[in-house]
């Protein structure tokens, strides 16, 4: 009879990372079912070591007995343990250059690497994610820093009442605070110069859902993109409401040849299409970008587009919350990722120059790449509930050869990137990135 694998909770080493993949109550749940748990000491984790200890975990400086190691972000290569199973966000599936040393080390050390990002259902929808909290923290921070920028420009506005997400004790605390902002908007509204206040959103996944959950606290009125120009012409003085517009694919892109938008054609021949957002961007106050992007697809916002649009009237857009954080990707002016202590930079399209912060003329961008860490308790609790059963199933079977063990759920088997010193079949395409 196989012995259960001990689970090891890794200490996170990235700056500003306070999340935990398993919360104390779920560690207790595992231990009750015969799975031992080691927890690496950490002063940065949102939960204290003592909270894990009283729930039955062994607190250690470094995991030793554990065969299944769970974390959030990529560990440092020198910290990797040979012949172990790792569950984490490896950020390797796209062939990310900066993480190829990690992937090489996993192969060299015979590590079984399970990537949370690749745990998906039959339709490709992710089952393990922090995306909702990226959306929640991203829209909160974007509104906060837009408010600060407008105040810097001398425009008094209700967004100045919003704090960055990490200053709230919890999601519940955040939502209670937003009720005060909502009532201010109802009573006093936005300044005429900002009205109607419109938030544009790209994407329909978990991140977008998080964004819209927070915007929903303001009871926004949704505008259909096709009606936006008419709306702008007739509703300029609607100061006591917030508006949102969620762009569908057919509104985000257009055929370069003037033909209609057909999704199958777009997937087969993306180079035949270009961004259609130049039709809408002059009229919105803030764009929140949450959509997936790959380099084979057209960009949504380009430097050239920003230069052209910002040189004419009207042009109302002050801010882009790039929650996808693809450097020089779908939002070309995202020239770097940022951190919670220095979250924004500003792009001047007329001068083609970047300045850190929001106190300069141009379009301010927020591109923090670990947004869920700003509400670490709530984010960890949600995430732990998504992985707990998977962790138990792997640990209880006591094996490393996961891809060939049919008792392990298919979504886990299909998320194994490396095993037995090799890339698994579904990830063999990464060979070309490793050899570069």
> What's residue 94's pLDDT?
87
Encoded tokens for 117:
């990002």
Is 254 in a helix, a strand, or coil?
strand
Tokens of residue 265, six digits:
């054609």
Instruction: Read off the pLDDT band of 329 (50, 70, 90).
Output: very high
32-37 mean pLDDT: 97
Q: What is the rounded distance in angstroms from the CA atom of residue 189 to the CA atom of residue 259?
A: 41
How does residue 402 score in pLDDT terms, banded at 50, 70 and 90?
A: confident
- Distance CA(77)–CA(113), nearest Å, equals 13
If DSSP codes are grouped into helix, strand and coil, which group holds residue 175? helix
3-class state of residue 238 by DSSP = coil
Question: Could you give the angle at the alpha carbon of 112 between the alpha carbons of 326 and 390, nearest 5°?
Answer: 80
Position 229 scores a pLDDT of 81
Per-residue pLDDT, 259? 87
What is the Cα–Cα distance from 345 to 358, expressed in whole angstroms? 6
Q: Is 427:417 a contact under the CB 8 Å cutoff?
A: yes
pLDDT for res 236: 58
Mean pLDDT of 130-148: 98
Band of pLDDT at residue 1, cut at 50, 70 and 90: low
Alpha carbon distance 376, 241 (integer Å): 31
The CATH number assigned to the domain with range 131-369 reads 3.40.50.720
E-strand spans in 308-404? 319-322, 344-348, 353-356, 363-366
CA distance 103 to 108: 9
pLDDT at 435 over 90: no
Q: Report yes or no: 278 and 191 within 8 Å, Cβ to Cβ.
A: no
Q: What share of the chain is helix, strand, coil (3-state, %, to 5)?
A: 40, 15, 40
- Residue pair 221/243 in contact by the 8 Å Cβ criterion: yes
The per-residue pLDDT for 306 is: 98
Which CATH superfamily groups domain 7-129+376-434? NAD(P)-binding Rossmann-like Domain (3.40.50.720)
Q: How much of the chain, in percent, has pLDDT values that exceed 90? A: 88
Query: For position 190, what pLDDT does the model report?
Result: 96
Across 28-42, 251-265, 337-351, least confident range: 251-265
Predicted local confidence at residue 69, as pLDDT: 98
Identify whether 82 is preceded by a cis peptide bond (ω within 30 of 0).
Answer: no
**pLDDT at site 238:** 80
Which alpha helices (H) appear in 58-164, and where do they start and end? 100-108, 131-152
pLDDT tens digits along 95-128: 988 999 999 999 999 999 999 999 999 999 999 9
Average pLDDT over residues 176-183: 97
The number of helices, as runs of H, and strands, as runs of E, in the chain is 13, 18
What's the pLDDT at 144? Answer: 99
Q: Is 403 exposed, middle or buried (0-12, 13-18, 19+ CB in 10 A)?
A: middle
Cβ of 431: how many Cβ atoms within 10 Å? 11
- What are residue 346's DSSP bridge partners? 355, 364
Is 230 or 131 the better-scoring residue by pLDDT? 131
Rounded CA separation 90/27 (Å)? 23
pLDDT band for 11, please (50, 70, 90 cuts). very high
Give me the residue spans of the domains in the chain: 7-129+376-434, 131-369
- CATH topology agreement for domains 7-129+376-434 and 131-369: yes
- Is the pLDDT at 436 greater than 80? The verdict is no
If residue 268 lies in a helix (H) or strand (E), which one and from where to where? helix 263-268
pLDDT digits (tens, 9 = 90+) for 145-165: 999 999 999 999 999 999 999
CA 434, distance to chain mean position in Å, is 25
Bridge partners, 197 (sequence order): 242
Q: How much is the mean pLDDT over the chain?
A: 95
For residue range 198-236, list pLDDT tens digits in order.
999 999 999 999 999 999 999 999 999 888 888 877 765
With cut-offs at 50, 70 and 90, classify the pLDDT of residue 142. Answer: very high
Residue 404 has what pLDDT?
79
Reading the block at residue 403, the tokens are 């891809």
């Amino acid at each position: 009879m196989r012995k259960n694998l001990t689970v090891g909770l890794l200490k996170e080493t990235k700056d500003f990372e306070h999340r935990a993949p398993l919360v104390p109550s779920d560690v207790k749940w595992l231990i009750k079912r015969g799975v031992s748990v080691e927890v690496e000491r950490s002063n940065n984790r949102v939960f204290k070591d003592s909270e894990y200890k009283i729930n039955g975990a062994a607190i250690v400086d470094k995991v030793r007995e554990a065969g299944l190691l769970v974390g959030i972000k990529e560990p440092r290569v020198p910290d990797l343990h040979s012949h172990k199973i790792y569950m984490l966000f490896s950020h390797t599936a796209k062939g990310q250059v900066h993480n190829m040393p990690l992937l090489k080390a996993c192969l060299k050390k015979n590590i079984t690497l399970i990537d949370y990002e690749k745990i998906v259902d039959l339709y490709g929808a992710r089952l393990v994610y922090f995306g909702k909290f990226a959306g929640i923290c991203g829209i909160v921070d974007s509104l906060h820093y837009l408010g600060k920028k407008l105040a810097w420009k001398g425009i008094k506005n209700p967004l100045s009442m919003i704090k960055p997400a990490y200053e709230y004790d919890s999601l519940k605390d955040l939502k209670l605070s937003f009720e005060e902002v909502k009532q201010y908007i109802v009573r006093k509204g936005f300044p005429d110069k900002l009205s109607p206040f419109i938030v544009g959103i790209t994407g329909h996944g978990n991140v977008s859902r998080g964004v819209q959950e927070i915007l929903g606290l303001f009871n926004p009125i949704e505008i259909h993109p096709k009606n936006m120009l008419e709306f702008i012409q007739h509703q300029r003085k609607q100061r006591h409401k917030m508006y949102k517009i969620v762009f569908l694919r057919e509104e985000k892109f257009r055929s370069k040849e003037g033909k209609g938008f057909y999704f199958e054609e777009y997937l087969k021949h993306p180079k035949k299409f270009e961004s259609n957002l130049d039709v809408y961007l002059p009229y919105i106050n803030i764009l929140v970008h949450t959509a997936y992007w790959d380099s084979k697809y057209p960009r949504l916002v380009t430097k050239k587009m920003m230069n052209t649009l910002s040189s004419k009237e009207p042009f109302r857009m002050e801010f882009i919350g790039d929650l996808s954080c693809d450097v020089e990707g779908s939002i070309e002016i995202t020239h770097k990722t940022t951190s919670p202590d220095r979250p924004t930079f500003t792009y001047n399209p007329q001068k083609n120059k970047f300045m850190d912060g929001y106190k300069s003329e141009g379009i301010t961008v927020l591109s923090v790449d670990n947004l869920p860490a700003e509400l670490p308790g709530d984010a960890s609790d949600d995430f732990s509930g998504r992985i707990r059963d998977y962790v138990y199933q792997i640990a209880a079977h006591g094996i490393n050869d996961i891809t060939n063990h049919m008792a392990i759920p298919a979504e886990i088997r299909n998320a194994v990137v490396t095993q037995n010193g090799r890339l698994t079949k579904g990830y063999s395409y990464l060979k070309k990135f490793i050899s570069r």
